[in-house]
Structures are given as structure tokens and as C-alpha cells.
Chains A and B, each alone.
Chain A
Amino acid sequence: MEDYKFLFKVVLVGNAGVGKTCLVRRFTQGLFPPGQGATIGVDFMIKTVEVDNERVKLQIWDTAGQERFRSITQSYYRSAHALILVYDISCQPTFDCLPDWLREIEEYASSKVLRILVGNKIDREDREIPRHVGEDFAQQHNMYFLETSAKEAENVEKLFMQIAQDLMEQARSKDLLRYDSNTTRIEGKTSSISDSNCCSKLA
């Protein structure tokens, strides 16, 4: 078993093209992918960080393109510990959609989920949404707020480290979400009653 004390599921949502995948890859791989199309074969990325001398594993889930036609599966939101809602500071429509996203979050995510609003692409000159507008929105909806640039690596590390820190504090104060401590893997309970013990792969 890998050596880490906590594992948290972090999910990203927001309109297509706001830079969700870039944020994840900047954080997990330290690079800014050029000419990003849709992402194939990638579900979630993992990065283990250290907070207060404890190893914390972040499992960061991307939308797999289902946001393009507003068709994200509800199950995507289940069991998330933190939820990052991203818009593009140079694209008003991505900000205007935030209430729709919030509605979806309210409906399917746990009420205890840590919510963070992120205005991405601050490296761009053609800003349309002033910082304080984003800040106000976040405050109104009881979310953390941060502006980032995945391209220039600005605030990306800070964003995820803050999440790790917060979730760990939550976990320490025994306020862990119900499901993460209640779920386990199949093999943890395998007992010897059954005599068939091989799982064959389907050809």
C-alpha cells in the first residue's frame, strides 16, 4: 500500500475551454499542454503532497468533456471532498453559467463539499470579469475564491495546497464526510468461504 495518510477526491467543473485540464496538468505534471483538445483516456490525475508533515493524496477528476453539452453524470459529483468551479476571466459567458453549475452542484454533491471558485487565465490581456466581481460571487455563495493562470503557473500550486490543507483540517476535526470512511474495497473483506477464487477476464 502506498504511503499516505489521507486521500481526497477533488472534482473540477465549469464550461468547456476554461482551462480545467490545464490546471490539473500544471499542478500534477508542472506543464502547460499546448493546443489542448479534449482529453482522451484520462479520468483523474493523482498527486501526493505534504501538509504538516503528513502525506496527502489528491485524486483530481476532470469532466471528460461531458460539460460540452451540459451532460455531466451525477455520479461524477458523488463522494467529492472538494469541488473547483472554474471560469475564464476573459470570457463573460463562462462566468454567466456559474449559477447553472451551482444548481447542479447543490443537487448532486454533498452539502459538506468544500467549494472553490477559480477565475482562470489571468495571464490574458483581454479580461472581461474584474477580480472583485468574481470575489463577490464567491462570497455570496460561500465559496473560496482564487484567480489563477495555468499557463504562467500562478496560484495553481496554492489552489491545490490550500484544498489539501483545508480538507486535512476537516478530517482532523472529525468532520470527515460520511462516505470516505465508510467505503472499502472488495478484497478487504474476502474471506475463505468461497472456493472459487479467480476472477477471469472477459475475452
Chain B
Amino acid sequence: MDTLPTEFDLIVVGTGLIESAVSAAASRIGKRVLHIDSKDYYGGLWASFNLENIETVFSKPQSNIHNAGSEDVQLDANQKKLVIGNDLFEIIDIEQAWHVLEKDKDYDSSLLKTKDVAEAALEVSEECNAESVDAVTKEVPVAVEANAESLVDEIQAIAVQEAIEKNNDVDIQEGAVAVIEAKENAEKETDPVLEVKEEFNATNDIHVEAEEAQIVEEEHLNNVTSLEVSAAAVFKPWSQESIMKQSRKFNLDLTPKVQFSRGEFVKLLVSSNIARYAEYIAIGRILTYLDGKLIPVPCSRSNIFSSPHVNVIEKRVLMKLLSTLMDSTDKDFSEYDGKTFKEYLQDRKLSPELIHYIVYSIALSDDETSCSDGVKNVKRFLASLGIIGQTPFIYSMYGSGEIPQAFCRLSAVFGGTYALNQPLSHFIYDEEHNFKGLISGQQKITASNLVTGFEYAPNEMVEKKEMSYISRGIFITDKSVLEADKQKTSLILMPSKDGKTLCHIIEAGHWSGVCPKDLYIVHMSARRTASAKEDLKYYVDTLFSNDPNDTKPNVLWSFYFAIPDTNDKDYTQHNSKNSFFCPGPDSDLDYDNSIQKASKIFDEIYPDSEFLPRAPDPDEIIFCDDSDEAAEEVKEAGAGDLPQEIEKTEEKQDSAEISLN
């Protein structure tokens, strides 16, 4: 492999979201950027892992920061080396556990009653108008004859037949999976919206799973649902072995986030053309916990009107209040200075249920949130409603770990040099605290500026004060917390028992690319007060159950940890004008604040440049291989020193907006 070049304008250490955004912005304006990470994966604390890797990510030494070879690096007389990394930054409360038996064979085979299987299989065959053909499964003979009347029936019949054929030589569980696959295929075939999407065009646009837009005939839907139910009946219990076999299908976020469909962050993704590097799915519903059960929060206009949980009078009150808040200005709330948002709502004489929906869901608040913050949050929520699906939120397909990578891709496209898994050992500073470079292995690499994730900041440059943490729990479960007729990615906003904090919970399934079929991933995040496990205990006990016969999901695997929240306090302590430390993930639901921090760092380094202007589309690039003149023009435009392309952006300046309108 090549050795790294040794001179750059900017070195970015760590591939977390903020670091990656600064890297992309600097490359975009033609700066020579080295983006380097000691880890062998992208994203740092913002990464997603498969099941096998997440178990090891914290157990092995956290990075390959070391000294080997650094002694040989010659420094100037006035320079000193500072060891990369600090003692302040530590991931704590790590606790991983399985809640299922190790091997498939550990389960008593009597759990799978032949009778049930037979019944289930019969149901399956009935569902697709089957009459009589001998297809022998391992345990039961099943009769199927595809008497297809419609396209749907035909597809389902074929697929079910396939599934049954499969059962001849594989186990029941796989057969059942095939049935579900068949169902999905059938669904695809009949969905007119989906048909259109073959022309999926990555340019400029954000891709969203058609979850919400599906128009499926009711009859068909019923068909599908019963197929699914009968398929579920033949499942074997999960084992560690059967889950681990599918390890690669998991994308488990260290930092799960949703995005406001029209928040600052998504606007930036679209305007900068970074949106083309990621795909999205809609958060299909927001759930809250009220009076001992989970309830979908009515948030959109149509939700409010169709919700069985709000009566007619409440509907009108809620709609009126939301419009009032939407049109309000700060002045309207001057008498509520120093009071909470909940108090404001109580004074409006709203019912406790409505107050619950508004405070904990629509305002993303708790009992102590100030009135002005509450109103601000409501406005933000409403501004993103009606863009995609029933809620204001989207989630990134394949997990949140894709998001930093989207920025890295843009940085690379604009010439950024990428090197993961590097043996980083020291930063080099002169006597005036100016950053001069870093040492990686036996190489000294210099740059005018340093942007680094906080976890790499040297001890000499951080202030030792009490660290706050975010408690995290990741759970693999066997069903949704609230079964619905359609698979939905859910955001569950659950206030603590005393209402003083709000726990953010995301539940996603295989359709979002984060886990295998028939499993669910639940992410919980809350402020740490005791320990990750204790902090989340109330939510775990409320949502999950240990009893396989319960309607609540069973937890099959759990993983607790707590990550430092380096956002609220400033932990850095240094006089270096050309070093910038990026905080890690914050406790927000979304990325808006984090991207603002990236933008601020960029502005400090390059005050006269735009943060992530729109990148040209492929058809706007004119290649001028032989023309020196063209090369010159690009240089002036700041596209770096390997110019071969010219951007023709003038007439397309506005097209980025189109995609949101």
C-alpha cells in the first residue's frame, strides 16, 4: 500500500459526524484534507456495527493508538509531542447479555407441536386458494394447487409453493421466512406506487421507503396479514446460534438518531447534494405510554381526525392550539417567562391526555422544559409534518452509521485522502501552541489546521471535570412493541415515571436494513443518572416481557453502555488557535445541533467560505482533459491541485430546492 502524503491544509482525526462534515466542507472548497482514523471502521461513536462486531468493539483496545516507531520521527527544536487520546473520555457501564439458549438443539423439540404446524400449514394453503397437490414437508403433508385468479394470488401461490418445496430439505423456520418473502413480493407487485419507483434517481433527492405511500387493496392486505400470522405459528424459538448466523444483517447504532424531514440537517443534505449518498425510511408512527398502554400519538392533521384516542372536542382543541402555537411569536408567551411549557398548557385547560401528547411527543419535552423551548420544539415538529408519511421524522436506511459516511464520500469525491486503521501516536505542537502535524507510525504528517474528535484530544489539552453521560440500551426483540397491520418504524417517546426526563426509543425492523426478518431492534437513549441498566430499567420493564406467551416482545439480546456527552460543557483547555475539538454525540433526537457545531468549526477555520455549497451533478461536469486553461479555471475555483473537471453550476443553482417542494 502507498505511504500517506505528508503535507495537507487540514488533518481531520476521527470519522464521527462533526469531523466528517468539516472534512467534507473543507474538501469541497478545494482544501487538501487528510481524514484519518485509528479505528478500522467509519463513524467513531456514530458508527453502526453488525452483531458480531459490536460485541468486540468495546472489548478490544479502543484504538490502535501507540508509540511504535514514533521515536524515529525527527522534530524541530521548538516542537513537542503530545500523546493522542485522553483519560477523560471513556465508555462505561458496558453490559452485554443473551436471553435465549445457545443452540437450536437446546430447545425441547416438543415446543414445536406437530399439530400446530399442520394447522398453520393448512391455513397457508387455504390462503392462496389451494386445493390439492402433494407436497411433503418434513413434518406434514400439505396440499397446494395454485388456482390463481389474480396476479397477487398467482404470485403468492407460487411463492408459497416454493416455500413448501423448501421445507422438503430445510427446516420449518426457513420455510416460514420464505412465505413472508413471498408476501413481500406479492405486495410489491400490486403496489402502483412502488412500480413507479424503478426510476429511482439518486441525484439531488432523498430516498424514502414507500412505507407510508403504499396503497394496498384491503383484501390483499388481509390476505397478507393472515399469511404472516400462520407463518409465525411455525417458528422455532430463536437461539444465539440462529441469530448469530445472521450477524451481518444487523446494523446496530452506537448513536441512533432520527432526522426532521425539513430540519436544518436534511435541508443541508439536500442543498449540498449529500442526500444522494444515503437512503431513508419514514418513521411511521410516534408512540407514547399513557394509562398503562402504548398509544399512537395523533400528530398530523389526518392522524388527529382519525385517532380513536381523542374525542371530537379534544380534536378541535388540539388543532386550534397547534395553529395558535404555529403562528405565535415569542411575545405571546412573555407572561410564561420562567414557567414550564406544561404549565402553559395546563392554563389552557387542556385534558391531561392532550397535555401528555403535546408535552412528551409533539414538543419532545419533559415536565421541566421551559415554555419558550416547548413552543420552539412544537414549531419545529409541525414544520416537518406532512413531508414524508405521518410523522415529521425519517431514519436512515441501514442505520445511523451511514450518515457520517455520506459526508466522507463527498469529501473523498472532492479529493480528500482517506485512511482508516492508522497507527496514530502523537500530535506535534510548537512552543506557541500551534498545531504542526501528527505522527502516524513512523511518518510525520503536517498540516495548517487540526480538527479532531474529542476522544483523540491529548490530556494536556482537556480540562478534568465531571463528565455527563448518555445511557444507551440496544435490544433485539422478537416482535414489535405494538403490532400493527403494517410494518412501521416507530419512535417511542416515553417520559420517566416522575416526568422529569424523556427517554428516546426507536424501534426498527428488517425493512429498514438494521436486522434480519422477524426480529426487531429497539434503541433506548436517556440521560445517565445511575447506570445505563438502572436508568433504562423502567422502560425495559414496561415495554418488554420475559414470558413467551405475553403479547409484549421478549428481549433476545441486550447491550447496555453509556457514552460521554461532551456537548453541554466545554472540556477543552488550550490556547491553540489552529486546533479544533469536535464534541461527540449529544442527547438530542436529531442532528441539527451537531451539524451547527460542524458549521461553526468550519467558519472559524475558513471564515470566508460557504459551508457545503451544492455539489455539481454528474451531468454538469465537463471534462477538459487537454485544456490547460480549463485546469487553471478550476484551480481558481478552488477545486484543488488535480484539476480535470470544470463545474458548470450556474444554471442549476436552484435545482436543489426543487426536490423539497
Interface residues of A (CB under 8 A from B): 1-2, 4-7, 9, 16, 25, 29, 31, 33-34, 37-46, 59, 64-66, 68-71, 73-76, 78-79, 107, 171, 174, 176, 178-203
Contact = CB atoms under 8 A, between A and B. Distances in A.
20 contacts: A40-B640, A41-B621, A44-B618, A59-B202, A65-B412, A66-B418, A68-B1, A68-B2, A69-B419, A70-B1, A171-B198, A178-B184, A184-B210, A186-B208, A186-B660, A193-B302, A199-B656, A199-B661, A201-B656, A202-B612
Contacts of B189: 174
Interface string B594-613: 00000100000000001110
Interface in B581-628: 599, 610-612, 614-616, 618-619, 621, 623, 625-626
Contacts of A66: 408-409, 412, 418
Contacts of A193: 300-302, 385-386
Q: Which of A4, A178, A201 has the most CB of B within 10 A?
A: A201
A202 B610 CA distance: 8
B197 A183 contact: yes
Contact of A64 (B205, B397, B409, B610): B409
B405 interface: yes
B267 interface: yes
Contacts of A64: 409, 412-413
B194 to A, nearest CB: 5
Nearest to A199: B660
Contacts of B135: none
A interface secondary structure, majority: loop
A98 B262 CA distance: 43
Contact of A189 (B389, B406, B513): B389
Q: 6 closest Cβ contacts across the A-B interface?
A: A193-B386, A183-B207, A185-B205, A199-B660, A64-B412, A69-B419
Contact of A184 (B200, B270, B611): B200
A184 B413 contact: no
B306 interface: no
B400 to A, nearest CB: 12
Contacts of B384: 194
Given A41-B616, A193-B385, A198-B661, A183 B623 contact: no
Given A68-B2, A199-B262, 17 more contacts: A29-B623, A33-B625, A38-B642, A41-B413, A42-B413, A42-B621, A66-B408, A68-B417, A69-B1, A69-B417, A73-B405, A181-B194, A183-B209, A184-B200, A185-B205, A190-B386, A192-B386
A37 B643 CA distance: 9
Given A41-B639, A74-B42, A201-B656, A184 B415 contact: no
B98 to A, nearest CB: 23
Contacts of A40: 413-415, 639-640, 642-645
Contact of A196 (B2, B42, B383, B409): B383
A202 B661 contact: no
A38 B415 contact: yes
Given A41-B639, A186-B659, A189-B208, A199 B270 contact: yes
B331 to A, nearest CB: 21
Contacts of B153: none
Interface in B379-404: 382-389, 397-398, 401-402
Interface residues of B, number: 96
Contacts of A180: 197-198, 200
B163 to A, nearest CB: 16
B210 to A, nearest CB: 5
A69 B2 contact: yes
B405 to A, nearest CB: 4
Contact of A43 (B184, B326, B413, B657): B413
Nearest to A93: B1
A136 to B, nearest CB: 26
A7 B200 contact: yes
Interface string B1-23: 11010000000000000000000
B313 interface: no
A38 B205 CA distance: 26
Contacts of A39: 644-645
A14 to B, nearest CB: 14
B278 interface: yes
B80 interface: no
Contacts of B197: 180-184
A42 B618 contact: yes
Nearest to A36: B644
A187 B612 contact: no
Interface string B34-65: 00000000100000000000000000000000
A119 B660 CA distance: 43
Nearest to B394: A186
B199 A194 contact: no
Contact of B4 (A69, A79, A187): A69
Contacts of B621: 41-42
Contact of B271 (A107, A196, A202): A202
B545 to A, nearest CB: 31
B32 to A, nearest CB: 11
Given A41-B414, A186-B261, A186-B659, A194 B618 contact: no
B618 A43 contact: yes
B31 to A, nearest CB: 12
B234 interface: no
Contacts of A188: 196, 213
A71 B388 CA distance: 33
Given A46-B619, A193-B385, A198 B657 contact: yes
A30 to B, nearest CB: 11
Nearest to B181: A178
A6 B513 CA distance: 23
B657 A41 contact: no
Contacts of B656: 199, 201
A71 B420 contact: yes
Interface string B636-661: 00011011110100000000111111
A190 B387 contact: yes
Contact of A182 (B210, B262, B408, B415): B210
Contacts of B502: none
Contacts of A201: 267, 271, 614, 656-657
B657 A73 contact: no
Contacts of B278: 75
A154 B377 CA distance: 60
A79 to B, nearest CB: 7
